[in-house]
Amino acid sequence: MKNLTAVSRLLRRSSRSLFDRRSNLTFLGAFCSSSSGLSYKSLQTCEQFTQDDCFHKKVMSKRIYFLRGYGVGIQSNGLRTHHRSLASIASTPERNKSFATINSDDISYFKKVLGERGVIQDEEKLDDANTDWMRKYKGSSKLMLQPRSTQEVSQILDYCNSRCLAVVPQGGNTGLVGGSIPVYDEVIINIGSMNNILSFDKVSGILVCEAGCILENLISFLDNEGYIMPLDLGAKGSCQIGGNVSTNAGGLRLLRYGSLHGSVLGLEVVLANGTVLDMLGTLRKDNTGYDLKHLFIGSEGSLGIVTKVSILTPPKLSSVNVAFLACEDYLSCQKILLEAKRKLGEILSAFEFLDINAMDLVLKQLDGLRDPLPSSKHNFYVLIETTGSMESHDKEKLEAFLVQAIESGLLTDGVVAQDINQASSFWRIREGVPEALLKAGATYKYDLSLPPEKMYDLVEEMRGRLGAAANVVAYGHLGDGNLHLNISTQQYDDNILSKIEPFVYEWTSKQRGSISAEHGVGLMKASKIHYSKSAETVQTMAAIKKVLDHNGILNPYKVLPTSVLSESGGQEPKKES
């Protein structure tokens, strides 16, 4: 599994620059020179090119970029239906007029603090930082700052706050909800240069590092020490730990190691007015006063900029087993989950599911994958992973569990990986669903937390509402109660969207679920937060925001609806010197 993701990361990275270059030469020219006459045919050419290039996500998302982002400014009949699409992007709020715009004095101040190297005004670099990973959102920032120390972050923020310059903190820019890109001309504060590992305790497994460390680098550093990061996700080659903490990223290991609220032991955070909060503890137990670090885990950079992280890492275990299983109905999937928790206990490390629509899509769209259970089709597929310290014990336990499940009829069929290569190919099916969806056409994506027993009802209701108009695909982290609901269509269509939204949010709200399970709120769902949080709760959030960031300069227009923020008052706290 690891090898495969590493390879795809590598491909993603390398061909990104390749594609950028080529696209500049060939496609951008086409878009610019004949924007009004752009035909659907030329889009197909570019689509063909991207598909040929290779299978990875970055390139596929580039395609969406052409279809969505660039399409916006082009008046072309061919494109219309394609770019009228931005599934569930709320109407973006107006630029907040109280924010200042940068002038030459600002630039010279920043150059004085950061040196020439830390002040980026180069358009190409800004273009990358202005655009999100999915190429769905685009800001127009003219300035990116790259501080190298907490002190520099503090100085920048103090200055921006006094000038009322809005800022957007940015890590690896791999978010899916537009949280890490500027909406208008916010100053981008990129933490990537703060990438030192500060300490690692080999006995306790506590790692202290700067926020700009790339997750994959931390993973390989720990690998040599015999430890792993408590989180793992597809974007690990680009995403940074500061961003992971700020968005409370979930990922594949959450079932086993819990959320970052549990594994992060301490943080150093710079507030909007430049105050440095040193909460960088390395203690498992610390009940002195309010545990403020939790405010910054998952607040998406709207309360402060995380500069250092102290995190508890679990030891690396040698025995990993993966089984790919088939169930005939959703009830059996739930029963299997319950049984797996009981029978596999401490070694269960992942429990993922996909339905027949997801399986069909993956096998149809992605090359090099084969159906592990080719003898017949099944309604549901479950992937179980165990991680433990003794191969023979784990294997015996897993096989006994599976044998019992098949004898009791919960499972109809299944295969157990006999080597890492087979395990990777099972994971590739589950992890390949988003990519297959991108290849299949337009997708409306929802990342929902729901009670597991109700989860699939939504999928079936959605199928009933949409009929043959769309392919409703369901997969996700069943063990965490996290459904990835995807509605795949030929092209974006307002008619279909009106059947999905607000229905899907209302339905989730009725079940007391969350409209943002692991992807965050960002810009995409800032105005939808009330579906998951009560008015009083949102008000309290706004009040906290007001206390910590009086001028609202930190990551504006995100997380909370602007309407709520403008209502609440508060006193600006004095900065300690």
Partner 1 sequence: MKILVAIKRVVDYAVKIRVKPDKSGVETSNVKMSMNPFCEIALEEALRIKESGRASEVVAVSIGPAQCADTLRTGLAMGADRAIHVEYPGTLYPLSVAKIFKSLVDAEKPGLLLLGKQAIDDDCNQTGQMIAGLLKWPQGTFASKVVLDEQNKVVTVDREVDGGLETLSLDLPAVITTDLRLNQPRYATLPNIMKAKSKAIKKLSPKDLNVEIRSDLEVVQVTEPPKRKAGVILSSVDELIDRLKNEARVI
Query: Is the Cβ of residue 93 or residue 414 nearer to partner 1 in the bound state?
Result: 414
Instruction: Report yes or no: 78 and 43 within 8 Å, Cβ to Cβ.
Output: yes
Which residue is listed with tokens 């949409």? 466
For the record, the structure tokens of 475 come out as 């997969």
List residues near partner 1 by CB under 8 A: 2-3, 318-320, 325, 370, 372-373, 391-392, 395, 399, 402-403, 406, 411, 413-422, 424
CA–CA separation, 398 vs 76, rounded Å? 57
Query: Is the Cβ of residue 422 or residue 568 nearer to partner 1 in the bound state?
Result: 422
Return left, alpha or beta for 197; rule: phi > 0 is left, psi -120 to 50 is alpha, else beta.
beta
Query: Is the Cβ of residue 72 or residue 390 nearer to partner 1 in the bound state?
Result: 390
* Burial tier of 343 (Cβ tally within 10 Å: 0-12, 13-18, 19+): middle
Min dist CB 411 to partner 1, Å, is 7
Residues with Cβ within 8 Å of 109's Cβ and at least 6 positions away in sequence, in order, are 159
Instruction: Report yes or no: 401 and 341 within 8 Å, Cβ to Cβ.
Output: no
Nearest 5°: phi and psi at 309?
-135, 135
The CA R_g of the chain, rounded to the nearest whole Å, is 24
Query: Is the Cβ of residue 260 or residue 411 nearer to partner 1 in the bound state?
Result: 411
- Contacts of the segment 461-470: beta carbons below 8 A, 24+ positions apart: 461/507, 462/487, 462/500, 462/503, 462/504, 465/499, 465/500, 465/503, 466/496, 466/499, 466/500, 469/493, 469/495, 469/496, 469/499, 470/496
Min dist CB 490 to partner 1, Å, is 33
Min dist CB 3 to partner 1, Å, is 5
Query: Is the Cβ of residue 243 or residue 414 nearer to partner 1 in the bound state?
Result: 414
Min dist CB 397 to partner 1, Å, is 14
Query: Is the Cβ of residue 410 or residue 565 nearer to partner 1 in the bound state?
Result: 410
Min dist CB 323 to partner 1, Å, is 8
Query: Is the Cβ of residue 42 or residue 217 nearer to partner 1 in the bound state?
Result: 217
CA–CA separation, 190 vs 212, rounded Å? 8
Min dist CB 109 to partner 1, Å, is 30
- The distance in angstroms from the start CA to the end CA of the chain is 50
Min dist CB 190 to partner 1, Å, is 21
